[in-house]
Structure 1
Amino acid sequence: MLETQNGLRKPTIYESFFYFTLSLLINAIGNGLTVATNMGSSMWTASAANIAYDFNFSISWVLIIYGGSQIFINILLTRKIDLPRIVGNIIFISFFGPFVGIFKQLFLDLGFASLSLPAKICFDIIGICFVAIAISIYQRLNLILHPGDEMTNILRFQYFKGNANLAQWTNFSIPVIVIICLSLIFKQIVAVNVGTAVALFFQGALINYADQLIFPKLKHRL
């Protein structure tokens, strides 16, 4: 919803398209940065990066498969099959996975992997912040969501009384378990570093700040 002098109103089609497209772009850039610098990705992306690395898969395909599993979890959490939501989730992950792969390769081609350690950490944290901003925008728009972020929204407002931090930590518990299991089996780990810790402990707070600072007139449509 958008705040106006006369109260709240629904975003127009053009406004919805603008907010959604911008958030998708910001999210893909942020995740691409974190994977390219290898200084730590948000938990789901880090988990996907480890699966891709250990099994020699494309990270784009892993992210798409993850999205399908998150849709199933959301059905369990809401105890209903919401077909328009599911179609929206599928549309989102169909664009999101390939976009992350494109931006990851772009940043690798630009030499981000060869930057100094402080520079890589800086860009990685910027990537984490970009992801939080993107999540904030499209969660408030609540039109088409990535199923993982819809999971956070469901947990936040249906289970944890609006607490973004608790919802995010609960969401992250699944990829944390996957990363731990893979590291024990393959004795190696990628995309887990400073940025992962930042995402794990602060992404919920960053989303809260973005709610207030980035397009503050865009309010949650529940």
Structure 2
Amino acid sequence: MAKGVFWLFLSVFLNAFGNALTVKAAFGSAPWTAASINISNATGLTVGNVLIIMGIIVLIADDLLRRHWNGIKDVFNFLYMLSFGYLIDAWLFIMQSVTVNGWALRVIVCIAGVLCIAAALSIYFQVNLVLHPFDDLLKILREKYLNGNVVLAQRISLGIPLALGLSVGLFRHHLVGINLGTAISFLCMGYFILFFDRCIHLHLNRDALTHWRMPHLLHHVKHSKA
């Protein structure tokens, strides 16, 4: 179980780092981050804080779509989302003195960021201990509403922040964060994750992870109170 938690922490660090790289490259970010950049520019909030606010809204929407509160899973998903948002802000603070100039370098840094995100997501899905509310939205749409169609579920779940980012940017006549990196993330992220699935093998103890997962944890909590 400790090994799984280690990989989970590594994935959130790597995911936040990849997103920070795409922000610094200013050549397009993943849809949720792109939306947060446009809202950040409009409101003055940090990118991480906007992601946290959107995450809370999506967490509530997930439960409404699921038609029930997800119990302690929601608590852990919230904590994961919170740490992800703050880590993006931390990486951006560390990188604030770094300048990425030139079209070629910006493209390279942007693609490197997207690949870091894909590697992090591969690890995160393999560990499968918690779900960011954004990812939980995709899962709910796929399983409950779209008969397992993951492609359509991805298009809808990522189309929401893309439409939000475009709306805010166009309304302000100052569109940022939506460019090549956004298109690559939107169209190719699934293929990149599959690539890293073949390259990264965690060799986790599935029995230990299953025992630790939230429903079992909640079960043990209830019995300890009895």
With the length of structure 1 as denominator, give the TM-score of the two structures.
0.84
* Distance change (3 Å), C-alpha of 1:38 and 1:168: same
Contact 1:28 1:103 in 2 (8 A): yes
Q: Aligned residue for 1:208?
A: 194
Q: Secondary structure at the match of 2:29?
A: coil
Amino acid at match of 1:55: T
Q: Aligned residue for 1:195?
A: 181
Unaligned runs of 5+ in 1: 1-12
Q: Aligned residue for 1:120?
A: 106
**1:166 equivalent in alignment to 2:152:** yes
Contact 1:39 1:193 in 2 (8 A): yes
Aligned length: 208
* Distance change (3 Å), C-alpha of 1:127 and 1:97: same
* Distance change (3 Å), C-alpha of 1:49 and 1:149: same
Q: Structure 1 residues 89-98 or 209-218, which shifts more?
A: 209-218
Amino acid at match of 1:201: L
Q: Which aligned runs of 4 or more in structure 1 are off by greater than 6 angstroms? A: none
Q: Aligned residue for 1:25?
A: 13
* Distance change (3 Å), C-alpha of 1:133 and 1:157: farther
Unaligned runs of 5+ in 2: 214-226
Equivalences for residues 211-222 of structure 1 within 5 A: 211-215=197-201, 217=203
Task: Determine which of 116, 126, 147 is the counterpart of 1:140.
Answer: 126
Distance 1:76 1:204 in 2: 26
C-alpha displacement of 1:84: 1.3
Larger Rg: 2
Give me the CA root mean square deviation.
Answer: 2.3
Task: Determine which of 34, 39, 43 is the counterpart of 2:22.
Answer: 34
Q: Structure 1 residues 134-143 or 47-56, which shifts more?
A: 134-143
Q: Aligned residue for 2:221?
A: none
* Distance change (3 Å), C-alpha of 1:141 and 1:63: same
